[in-house]
Amino acid sequence: MRSKSIYFLLSAAVLMADQLTKAWATASLKPIGSIEIIPGVFRLSYALNRGVAFSILADSELEIRWVLASISIGAAVMVLGYLSRTSPSRARMNGSLALLLAGIVGNLIDRVRLGEVVDFLDFHWVDRFTWPTFNLADAAICIGAALLALELLREERADSLKAQGPAPEESGIGSD
């Protein structure tokens, strides 16, 4: 039986990487704005986001800091609960939950401490397409959510196949 500690260590490592990179971005990028890494494709750009994912609600006149912090706390508690109750043998499920937890807590720390979230990863295609600037916590949330969705779909398919029973060739039906 696998230990659950590996998933909590994964979450802690991603959270630490998120906080360290945000501290670096604040110290190094804030004074200069951005550094072009791959011309026309990727740069490191200091940005602050008052809103939620991809700057949704960032321009809101409402004071949403504590509302978003409360939602984040609730989400973190739910994910932590699922992570604690999920069997250690369910590696994909636990891994996705660990990533979600790290991302939620990483952005929650910024929101409570600063009132906004530090972003710095900036992908674009020349000047025609710009993906919203994001951070490692955002990436962990997106990857964790995608992996969780895939795992749930895989489980649903497996349950559906079990409910259908064995295939005709496996049951002896229709064989000569």
Which domain range does residue 103 map to? Answer: 5-29+37-159
Asked if residue 170 is part of any domain, the answer here is: no
Establish whether 119 is a catalytic residue: yes
Q: For the segment 64-122, what is each residue's pLDDT rounded down to a tens digit? A: 778 888 999 999 999 999 999 999 999 999 999 999 999 999 999 999 999 899 999 99
> Is residue 171, in this structure, part of any structural domain at all?
no
Q: Is 138 a catalytic residue?
A: yes
Say whether pTM exceeds 0.85.
Answer: no
In a domain, 168, yes or no: no
- Name the pLDDT band for 176 (thresholds 50, 70, 90): very low
Q: For 130, phi and psi rounded to 5 degrees?
A: -130, 120
Residue 113: inside a domain, yes or no?
A: yes
Q: How many domains does the chain have?
A: 1
Q: Which of 119, 122, 127, 159 is catalytic?
A: 119
